[in-house]
Each structure stands twice: as structure tokens, then as C-alpha cells.
Amino acid sequence: MITLHFSKTINAPKEKVWSTMLEDKTYRQWTMAFTEGSHFEGSWEEGEKILFLDANGQGMVSTIAENRPHEFISIKHIGIIQDGVEDTESEEAQKWAPAFENYIFTEENGRTTVAVDMDIEEEHEEMFLDMWPKALEKLKRLAEE
């Protein structure tokens, strides 16, 4: 497992960037860089379960490990969803879980830098190195509207 790091500075206060990143309507827009129909089901509240899904209902089972509004959110990925079934115990699910995805929001002079740290299997590095910059650019455009 490796950790990838990304960041983007956005001309908007951190409260606006936070809500743009996590609210359903805009979440669906900026995460299209990862997969068509990307969405979540569940809650961003600390300790709650949240599912990250594509248009076909495939995706990841996760929990919110930590949530400090407008400052930091940590997602703990604990399994996968295939054919509508949550799987946290198979060899495929356990080979990478738990994996964390952390977002840090830092504001200075009305501009917010979003830093992303993401644990992934090395075999997916190239794919995420391509997708994350596109996703963060879309987030920037949405938050600056």
C-alpha cells in the first residue's frame, strides 16, 4: 500500500469548499472524474457508515473516521460492494482494507488549499495520478462559481 498526495488551491473560503466537496449535488459533479454516476449513500458524520458507489451500485464500504467541520475529514475504507453485496471479509476486500482517504482544508486570505492523502494499492497509482488532478480542478471550478 502506498499513500498518494494531492492539493489544490481554490479561490473560496473553506466553508464553501467543504460544502461543495461533500454536498450530494456537487459531490456527484466533481467525482465524475473517477467514474460516471459517482455518488454516496450515508452520512459524513464521524463514526457513521458511508457507501461510495458508481452508476451500477458497485463501490466501497467506508466509515467516517474523523470529521472536524471545515478543517479535516478522514474516510476509512473497509470493504467493497459488488452486485449490491457489501463485502468486508473476502481476500479481495481485505488485501487493501483498511485504507484511509484524508482531506485537509487550510484557508489563508480567503483562499482554501485542499490537501488529499489517499492510501491505495500500487497497481492503481497511475490511474489515480491521472484522475485526482481532474477531480480537484472540477471541485475548484464548482467552488469558485
Q: Tell me the domain boundaries of the chain.
A: 2-144
Please provide the distance, in angstroms rounded to a whole number, between the alpha carbons at the two ends of the chain. 36
The pTM score is 0.91
Please state which CATH number belongs to domain 2-144: 3.30.530.20
Res. 88: pLDDT tops 90 = no
The per-residue pLDDT for range 101-116, each reduced to its tens digit, is 999 999 999 999 999 9
Residue with cell 450515508: 42
How far are the Cα atoms of 8, 50, 72 from residue 141, in angstroms, in the given order? Answer: 11, 25, 21
> What is the Cα 81 distance to its own chain's centre?
16
